[in-house]
Amino acid sequence: MSPGTGSIPAIGDEVRRQLEAAGLSPDDLEELIRRAVDEDLDGGVDVTTVATVPADQRATLDLVAHRPGVVAGGPVAAAVFSYVCGDDAIVRSLVPDGTSVAEGVTILSVTGRTHDLLRAERPALNLLGHLSGIATLTRAWVDAISGSGAAIRDTRKTTPGMRRLEKYAVRCGGGVNHRMSLSDAALVKDNHVVAAGGVAAAFDAVRRAFPGVDVEVEVDSLDQLDEVLEAGADLVLLDNFTVDQLREAVRVTAGRARLEASGGLSLSVAADVASTGVDYLAVGALTHSAPVLDIGADLRQEA
């Protein structure tokens, strides 16, 4: 039975296993899907579908890429259909996450009651298109610095409530995740420096309070870099450094800490930045500015 018919909606066991294998929480996702579906119905019914589609009609819905890109969120979309359609749906995931697809490729195919398919369609497409857009943009950055030895990292500039999904999409695109939360690691930024009375003072304060936590320190000058290297920082974020300044920072650091370039980076300069020898490029745009990958839903009635 589907949501709204007296059942307790739940994601099926097979889809739950797929989500867990991807490092995603089925319970957290189920709550997100519930909110998305409820938002779409707003306490009512899908008036267009109820009026035009026989209640017992069955069909197959194909989710098809309308533009080339990198797929992310296949199990997430499958979870939407599992939640809405219940055991009645047959979900076929045809393209693994992280795969590059051409225009016209079918990513997911679902067979079930037409009413349920159409109710699940938009929430599934919203999530799949958004996550695939992030993966596609991430892959473009990764390709731009290929061979440099540097990695593309995301930031905490994520959509509230969707951080784990969006950072999963970054991984699908070949990027690596920065901290998932404020408790994972320390990042001493300019406001912390002001509050603590200096870069070294802020670093030392974190070291004393949380000795087992990695500490990254943001600096905006080579003088500050010398200071935090002397203090023993594990990772230094070089904020708005020029390419020449980044190259000098790499020379001065001489392997004593990992270095991350950040601030105003664009694809057009990615290769130049990576060539300086930094370990990471921090790109907030991966999650806050990625265009949605155009994915459509095509209905086929059963014979």
- Helix H, strand E, coil C: the string for 135-148 is HHHHHHHHHHCCCC
pLDDT recorded at residue 88 = 85
**Tokens encoding 298:** 């095509």
118 with 88, same domain? Answer: yes
Q: Is 218 a catalytic residue?
A: yes
182 with 122, same domain? Answer: no
Check 17, 35, 189, 256 and give the catalytic one: 189
284 with 181, same domain? Answer: yes
Check 218, 227, 260, 279 and give the catalytic one: 218
Flag whether pLDDT at 303 surpasses 80: no
Range of the domain at 116: 13-138+291-301
Q: Is 207 a catalytic residue?
A: no
90 with 75, same domain? Answer: yes
> Among the residues of the chain, which ranges form H helices?
13-21, 26-41, 47-52, 74-85, 114-144, 163-172, 190-196, 199-209, 222-231, 243-253, 267-274, 285-288
Indicate whether 245 belongs to any domain.
yes
Q: What is the SS3 assignment for 70?
A: strand
Check 34, 40, 62, 122 and give the catalytic one: 122
Q: What is the spatial distance between Cα 148 and Cα 159, in angstroms, rounded to a whole number?
A: 30
**Tokens encoding 212:** 């087992």
pLDDT recorded at residue 71 = 98
43 with 81, same domain? Answer: yes
CATH at residue 200: 3.20.20.70
Check 30, 239, 260, 279 and give the catalytic one: 239
219 with 242, same domain? Answer: yes
Q: Is 189 a catalytic residue?
A: yes
178 with 190, same domain? Answer: yes
118 with 167, same domain? Answer: no
295 with 269, same domain? Answer: no
Q: Is 156 a catalytic residue?
A: no
CB 124 within 8 A of CB 77: yes
Indicate whether 6 belongs to any domain.
no
Query: Per residue in 139-195, pLDDT tens?
Result: 999 999 999 999 999 999 999 999 999 999 999 999 999 999 999 989 999 899 899
Indicate whether 2 belongs to any domain.
no
Flag whether pLDDT at 7 surpasses 70: no
Average pLDDT of span 263-282: 97
62 with 189, same domain? Answer: no
Question: How many domains are contained in the chain?
Answer: 2
119 with 82, same domain? Answer: yes
Q: Which amino acid is at 300?
A: R
Q: Is 167 a catalytic residue?
A: no
239 with 154, same domain? Answer: yes
